[in-house]
Structures are given as structure tokens and as C-alpha cells.
Structure 1
Amino acid sequence: MPDKNQPSSFTGIIEADEAFLPEPFKGKRKMPRASRKRGGGKVPLVPVLISYQRGDKFTYKVMDRNTKENISRAITPLLSEGCCLCTDGNLSYKSIVEKLDINLDHKRIIASDGRIVEGIYHIQHVNGFISLWKEWLDRFRGVGTVYVKHYLAWYIWMRDKSYGEENLWLKEATGQLTPFE
């Protein structure tokens, strides 16, 4: 259901970055590991690729693993001729862009070189979105991996509706407001 509301392609300046969430194993009957009695250890992480077109168009893809192939499958359909892709220093994006048959500008934002390249290219919008989304997500004390995309869609919907009337979401949920009002 949330996937249907995502844009199918982007134009202009596109920012992309991955977010990593701990996998809580909520709602699963069997865990792939023994229960932890105390303390640490490596927590398995779920990668989520979030792409943003300047002008408030978001898309996201929950991936099994953070591999070049998964990133390519998620981001390639979104890219169009003449757009500019801004990413972090992840080398996967560089090889993905090199293999594409379209004319595309790619700006890698390396933190040690500065947050902004050529005055306008940065990934601060998508990083800010990820930060606010994770902060909002903390109230749920971990979400099941299966439902991450639903929580992302919910957050984007609330974020978009927060600029309007205070209880607009309640009116939409109860059917008191049609989508065209």
C-alpha cells in the first residue's frame, strides 16, 4: 500500500542516502539467533534507501542488505536524463552512475571535504529527514522490519499534512474530508 504513493521518477537535483535501523525481531516467532541475556554484541541493521528530489518528493526502499545491486535496483528507475544525483562517499553510487546509459551528473559529498559542493549540491535535506524520522520512530521502541515502509509512509504523510489544518488527519481518517477539498 505505501509503495503506490511514491513517485516513479525524479528530475533536477536528487539527494540519496541510506538509513540503518536495528532489527528488533518484533512479532517473529523464531529468532535467527539465541536470546541475549545481557549486554552488547553486534545488532543486525536493516538498510533503508531514502531518495529526495528538491521540492519535497520522497521515495524509499527497505533493502535486505546494503549492497551495490540492491541500491542499483532501488535508485536506477528513479533517475532521468539530465538530473544530478548527490550522494555521500559510498562508492556503490559511483559505479551505478558509470554503468547507466543516460546523461547524469553525480556529486559525491565527502564529509572531510565539506558539506556543500559547488555552492548548491549537498545531502542535508535527506540527512535531516532521516534524523527527524528516526527521532519520531524512537517512540515506538523498535518497529518490525516488515512494517518499516508503513511507518515511513505514515511519517511522510504526517509531515506533509502538518503544514495545514491541525486535525486534518482526523477528518481524513473518519471520512469527513474528501481528498479534493
Structure 2
Amino acid sequence: MKAASFKRWLKRLPGLTRPQRAQVLQALRPAVGLDRVVEAIAQARAARRCCPACASKCCHRHGHANGLQRYRCRQCGRTFNDLTGTPLARLRHRAKWLDYLDTMLDSKSVRAAAKAVGVHRNTSFRWRHRFLHLAKLDRPSSLKGIAEADEMFLLESQKGSRKLDRPPRKRGGVARRRGISRELDCILVARDRTGQTVDYVTGRGAVTTRQLHQHLRPVLDPEVLLVTDPHAAYRAFAREAGIAHQTVSLRAGERVRGAIHVQNVNAYHRRFREWLARFHGVASRYLPNYLGWQWALDGGRISSAEQLLRAAIGLFHIQR
């Protein structure tokens, strides 16, 4: 619209009735949402923008496409935008992204989020896991001081799979065997006293020394004090890794011995179970995404849709 026409249109706005003003606001909402998304992405990428093909930072503007600024790399000649190479590339309805991320901050179900934003439930499900694909990697690089580690177990689920490697059962069922077995997914959580947390889905059944070396050793500071239960795998791991190790035995009635306890990590387990229950069953293959989602929400670490959008394109809120 030309400037003169826009000024004439703007002068007539006070004469609109209340329903007409509501219609104007509703019509402008998608455009405003798209502007917010584009601005948030551009601001996040400005300092780290580079060619996804050759990693060169020498690029220049090269027109627009689908509402996003495109760039051409001076070194390899390829064109790209700020979403190229991210899980959000080629996702549509960008004007609704921030509204959808607000529903994720509220931990709404797939269908509730779809209804709130106005998209199909399949789109809602696809968006959830696209936004969490990189956000789940937003983890501290090391645990220091006193670090607690413990496992929690969830009944494995093949929800949504067309082929099962076991007989089918009703959702929300129980394991056929008592105790820890191959029917349970093992989630290993380690947390230091500053609240920094790492978690891993190690597989089915009890955690092993090899899995502890694979997951825990890279993130534990050499001077850390590791506190766990008396599981033999932890003892072997600490001995082989040369890490100071203390244990508490809840079965023997020992919960706290001075500063030696695992109450922080057990409290994190409890919060995760209570939060996960609202989704009425989660497929085992998506557990890492839900662990990353809970870590983003825990303690209000990520509190805005813009912050969650940055994490979704790999620009993390914390220093890793």
C-alpha cells in the first residue's frame, strides 16, 4: 500500500465499531506473529551467521523467500537463509511458531496445543519434536563439586510403531517380571549441587559400567565427588575412572550422611515423572526429547518462546 493510501486508511480507524476493530486485530495477528519470528531468528543468528555448506562467514544479502532474508556465500556461491541446516528448515506456518512454543512452555498435550494454535494434531506432533531435536542437546559441559547420579525406570513403550518386537499390551500396563528387567527403559540422571543436570536413556535394563563410562565420564570434572547408591556398576566405574566416590543405601535406611545424599537427583526424578504423566504415555524413542523439554522448563531456565526458539535452532541459553 502506498503511503498516501495508508494514511487515509489509518485516519478511518477511529470510526470502526468494536467488532470491526476485533476483525482488524485478528487479521493482523498472523503478520505480527511472522514478524516476531523473523526478527527473533535474525537477531539470534546475526553474530554467528555463516554458510551451512562451507562455514564461511563471508556472505551478502540475496533477496527474500518465504518471508526470510536469503544470503549468498561469497566463497562457494550457495544461497541459504537463517534456518537452512536446522530442524526448522521448510516448516510452514511460521506466524504460529511463537504461539505454539508458548503452549510448550505450558506443557500442553499435542491435541490441546493444536487446538490453541489452529493447526492439525499431526502438525502439532511434528512441530513438537522438530523444536526439541536440538533443544534436547542444551546441556552443561561438566558437573563439578558434589555430583549425584541415579537411575529411574519407565516401562518401555513402542507407541505408534507398526511392528513390535514383543506381544502387544494395553497402554499403561505393567511389566511381566518384577524388579528391574529388559522391559524397562533406564534413564540415568546426574546432577551437581548447583542444579546443572545431564540425563541419558541408556537402554533397557540395569545400567552397566560400560554405559557409565560412555555417558558420565565425559561430563564429570576430575575433582568431582560422585555420590550414588551402592550399585556395583558405580563402584567399578569410579574405581576405573579414578573419581572420588561415596554411597548411601536407602534400603538400609540411610538417606543422608552429612553432605552425602542423592536427594537432589531423586527430587528431579519425581518432578519428571509427575510432569510426564500428563501426556498419558510416551514412546521410548522420544524419551530424550521429553528429557530435554523437562530440563528446559525445570526451575524456569527457559521462560519465553523466543528463548525456546533459539534453543530449537541450536543457539543455547546457557554456556556449554
Relative to the length of structure 1, the TM-score reads 0.83
State the match for 1:160 in structure 2.
299
1:42 and 2:182 matched = no
Query: 1:113: Cα distance to partner?
Result: 4.8
- Count of residues in Structure 1 that have an aligned counterpart in Structure 2: 171
State the match for 2:240 in structure 1.
99
Contact kept in structure 2, 1:82 and 1:105, CA below 8 Å:
yes
Q: How does 1:24-173 map to 2 (within 5 A)?
A: 24-36=157-169, 41-42=175-176, 44-65=183-204, 66-100=207-241, 102=242, 104-111=243-250, 112-117=252-257, 119-161=258-300, 168-170=303-305, 172=307
Post-superposition CA distance 1:10-69 (Å, at most 9, x none): 2100000001111121121111112247x7652711101000011110001111233221
- Residues 171 and 81 of structure 1: CA distance in aligned 2, closer, same or farther (over 3 Å): closer
One of 134, 144, 151 as aligned partner of 1:11: 144
Look up the SS of the partner of 1:148 in the other structure: helix
Contact kept in structure 2, 1:161 and 1:169, CA below 8 Å:
no
- Distance in 2 separating the partners of 1:91 and 1:174: 41
- Distance in 1 separating the partners of 2:224 and 2:163: 45
- Distance in 2 separating the partners of 1:92 and 1:99: 11
Who wins on radius of gyration, i.e. which is larger? 2
- Distance in 2 separating the partners of 1:41 and 1:58: 29
The code of the aligned residue for 2:290 comes to Y
**RMSD value, Cα:** 2.6
- Distance in 2 separating the partners of 1:34 and 1:46: 17
Look up the SS of the partner of 2:187 in the other structure: strand
Contact kept in structure 2, 1:13 and 1:54, CA below 8 Å:
yes
Post-superposition CA distance 1:103-132 (Å, at most 9, x none): x32111111151112x11100000011011
The code of the aligned residue for 2:230 comes to G
Relative to the length of structure 2, the TM-score reads 0.49
Query: 1:99: Cα distance to partner?
Result: 0.8
- Distance in 1 separating the partners of 2:162 and 2:276: 23
Look up the SS of the partner of 2:221 in the other structure: coil
- Distance in 2 separating the partners of 1:83 and 1:123: 15
State the match for 1:20 in structure 2.
153
Look up the SS of the partner of 2:304 in the other structure: helix
